[in-house]
Chain A
Amino acid sequence: DAGVIQSPRHEVTEMGQEVTLRCKPISGHDYLFWYRQTMMRGLELLIYFNNNVPIDDSGMPEDRFSAKMPNASFSTLKIQPSEPRDSAVYFCASRSSSYNEQFFGPGTRLTVL
């Protein structure tokens, strides 16, 4: 069974550029979460979806951040325009509604110069 897949694993971009992070959840999972990890704030929830519908986006820091889930097997997190303070590791996670455990992808390390 494949786990949560994220791409790219590393992204280096310049300030002002658009960045798109991608996630494929575990098949059959109906919840998808986007988290950001920084030294200062730890693992913070950005947004989560249930059955492809955004449920809570209160953690999205600014309007520069947006997330979509067009179908059950794909989600994107977009930052436009990117800023150096967006540099962090971004994790996608998924879970089944039958369980409490979330399964994380390997993360995307984003560096904005």
Chain B
Amino acid sequence: DQQVKQNSPSLSVQEGRISILNCDYTNSMFDYFLWYKKYPAEGPTFLISISSIKDKNEDGRFTVFLNKSAKHLSLHIVPSQPGDSAVYFCAAKGQAGTALIFGKGTTLSVSS
């Protein structure tokens, strides 16, 4: 059973608009959440993260929101740029020493 779910396989957005990528999780023991970005033929690269004690973290154009009661997090990209076109993975980590559990990813396409 998937512990981290990204229910939208793809998302298309126009340049300059907001992109919102969503992620749901089932395990209430997760205490840290991350977003990774992946271009074709490359490995995933870390984008932004948030601890479970916070509800928002912002880094430039990227903001991650965490709703613990709903077990839901989202990544907002404002404004979206064509270079943001990639696969975005949501990941979660439980107690210290454990590995990241990834969602299946959402392919974002930003058109100019």
Contacts and interface: CB of A to CB of B under 8 A. Distances in A.
Contact of B46 (A43, A44, A97, A103): A103
Given A91-B43, A100-B32, A43 B99 contact: no
Contact of B44 (A44, A56, A97, A104): A104
Contacts of A12: none
B77 interface: no
Interface residues of B, number: 21
A43 B102 contact: yes
Main secondary structure of the interface of A (DSSP, over half): strand
A42 B102 contact: yes
Contact of B34 (A35, A50, A55, A101): A101
Range, interface on chain A: 20 to 34
A93 B103 CA distance: 16
Contacts of B101: 45
Interface in B64-112: 89, 93, 97-105
A109 B100 CA distance: 21
Interface string A42-61: 11110010100001100000
21 contacts: A4-B43, A35-B102, A42-B102, A42-B103, A42-B105, A43-B89, A43-B102, A44-B102, A45-B99, A50-B97, A56-B98, A56-B99, A91-B43, A97-B97, A100-B34, A101-B49, A102-B46, A104-B43, A106-B41, A106-B43, A107-B41
Given A33-B99, A44-B102, 11 more contacts: A42-B105, A43-B89, A43-B102, A43-B104, A45-B99, A45-B102, A100-B34, A101-B49, A102-B46, A103-B46, A104-B43
Interface of A: 4, 31, 33, 35, 41-45, 48, 50, 55-56, 91, 93, 97, 100-107
